[in-house]
Amino acid sequence: MSIRTLDDLLAEGVSGRRVLVRADLNVPLDKQTGAITDDGRIRAVLPTLGALVEAGAKVVVCSHLGRPKGTPDPQFSLRPVAGRLGELLGAPVHFAEDTVGDSARSTVGGLADGQVALLENLRFNAGETSKDEAERGAFADQLAAFGDAYVDDAFGAVHRKHASVFDVPARLPHVAGRLVLREVEVLSKLTGDPGRPYVVVLGGSKVSDKLAVIEALLPTVDRLLIGGGMCFTFLKAQGLEVGTSLLEKDMVETCRNLLERSSGKIMLPVDVVVADAFAPDAAHDTVRVDGIPSHRLGLDVGPETVAGFSAALSQAKTIFWNGPMGVFEMPAFAAGTRGVAEAITKADAFSVVGGGDSAAAVRALGLDESSFGHISTGGGASLEYLEGKTLPGIAALEN
């Protein structure tokens, strides 16, 4: 893979030039106040933006936030992000109230060297996500008009064939930003020759969401630890009662087949925390997996499971973790995720947190981010990379 980098662009000189940066500023917002609840993705792009500002570029940042339906929607505005980005950069960020309209043109046109502008949400324009190449291309033409060069630093979006990710690089000199470069370097270690034992921890809700990565990883990993809501479909495949827990009935036979083919690599929970309802104050207790009552649902893995998973992790030299072990947003059901995360930090291993809910859990539980080898900004992108898929955004950057 041959990709030009931000350092290559800086070496050519960017002072006075407009540099269009595709960032992933898709941060969570409080539904009541609109305040940013986790600015991790904003902080992740600072090394690239800071280097461009210092070099005197006119920096034009674009990003999506949420899933608006191709038209402006105030609840998905990037305005709060512009404020936080300005605080972190230590200088005002000029905000365009549209993406490629009059406000964007005047905002970009008014930039001085070393200043930063943020365009409004890319997905307020139907062309960004369109499957029609002509519509997508027309939007890419408008975006590309704001740059003399393009930097992709949005790893969380590189698995999407969207205008700002796939089509704009074809219209401008293009390079990978520091975040994208780091993500690819880290994940390539996992797909190359990882240190062994190589242990993968998968959680989250659905087996169907992780099936492709399980299929891809089974031949290469030494242990595969499965928790979260998806574990109940595997337990059902073993003939166990799972009560009213999350269950994908159409995946039971698939899970049974995976267990048979895994040569004992797959490790499932031995106990779970069950509750009367999906609620933070629901009555709950811990039971063995062969004793789940028919009227209760599992919301976390239990302490014996955490101990077993921790023992496997303590032997690892390489660890990849994607997906929480339970409903960590509710304190009563956060112990499993916390226990497994802490075990990862204590292991003498190169550890990668695969973005998404796992990264959110690290921050929500107050864990030391520096205790992990790498925390990815792209959950879906990191999984597809490990599956061996071609990522459109990465392919677009290749020479």
186 vs 363: CA distance, rounded Å: 20
Q: Is-catalytic flag, 236? A: no
Feature table: binding site for (2R)-3-phosphoglycerate: 41, 123, 160
Feature table: binding site: 24-26, 41, 64-67, 123, 160, 210, 298, 329, 355-358
Matching residue, tokens 């031949």: 219
Beta strands in 157-226 (DSSP E): 174-176, 198-202, 223-226
Torsion angle of C-alpha atoms 294, 296, 301, 305, degrees rounded to 10: -40
- Residue 1's pLDDT is what? 56
Q: For 6-177, give the CATH class.
A: alpha beta
Feature table: binding site for ATP: 210, 298, 329, 355-358
Burial of 31: CB neighbours in 10 Å, binned 0-12, 13-18, 19+: exposed
Active-site choice (101, 171, 380, 389): 380
- Residue 38's pLDDT is what? 86
- pLDDT per residue as tens digits for the range 291-316: 999 999 999 999 999 999 999 999 99
- Residue 2's pLDDT is what? 85
399 band by pLDDT with thresholds 50, 70 and 90 = low
- Residue 66's pLDDT is what? 94
Feature table: binding site for substrate: 24-26, 41, 64-67, 123, 160
- Beta bridge partners, 285, equal 274
Pairing of strands 271-275, 284-288: antiparallel
- Residue 209's pLDDT is what? 87
Active-site choice (84, 105, 171, 206): 206
CB 230 within 8 A of CB 207: yes
Active-site choice (203, 356, 378, 379): 356
- pLDDT per residue as tens digits for the range 216-275: 999 999 999 999 999 999 999 999 999 999 999 999 999 999 999 999 999 999 999 999
- pLDDT per residue as tens digits for the range 181-210: 999 999 999 988 999 999 999 998 888 889
332 vs 183: CA distance, rounded Å: 33
Locate the domains of the chain by residue range. Answer: 6-177, 185-387
64 residue type, one letter: H
Which of 148-162, 229-243, 381-395 bottoms out in mean pLDDT, i.e. has the lowest?
Answer: 381-395
In this prediction the pTM is: 0.89
- Residue 298's pLDDT is what? 98
334 vs 174: CA distance, rounded Å: 42
53 vs 17: CA distance, rounded Å: 11
185-387: same fold as 6-177?
A: yes
- Residue 21's pLDDT is what? 98
Q: Is-catalytic flag, 101? A: no
Cα-only R_g, the chain = 22
- Residue 360's pLDDT is what? 85
Could you give the 3-state DSSP secondary structure of residue 123? Answer: helix
Residues 6+ apart with CB under 8 A from 322: 200, 201, 202, 203, 204, 210, 213, 353, 354, 355, 356, 358, 379, 382, 383
Angle formed at CA 113 by CA 111 and CA 115, multiple of 5 degrees: 55
In the DSSP assignment, the letter for residue 153 is E
Phi, psi of 380, rounded to the nearest 5 degrees: -65, -40
Residue 325 has pLDDT above 70, yes or no: yes
322 vs 302: CA distance, rounded Å: 18
Q: Is-catalytic flag, 356? A: yes
In CATH, 185-387 is 3.40.50.1260: yes
Active-site choice (41, 182, 223, 338): 41
95 vs 100: CA distance, rounded Å: 12
68 residue type, one letter: P
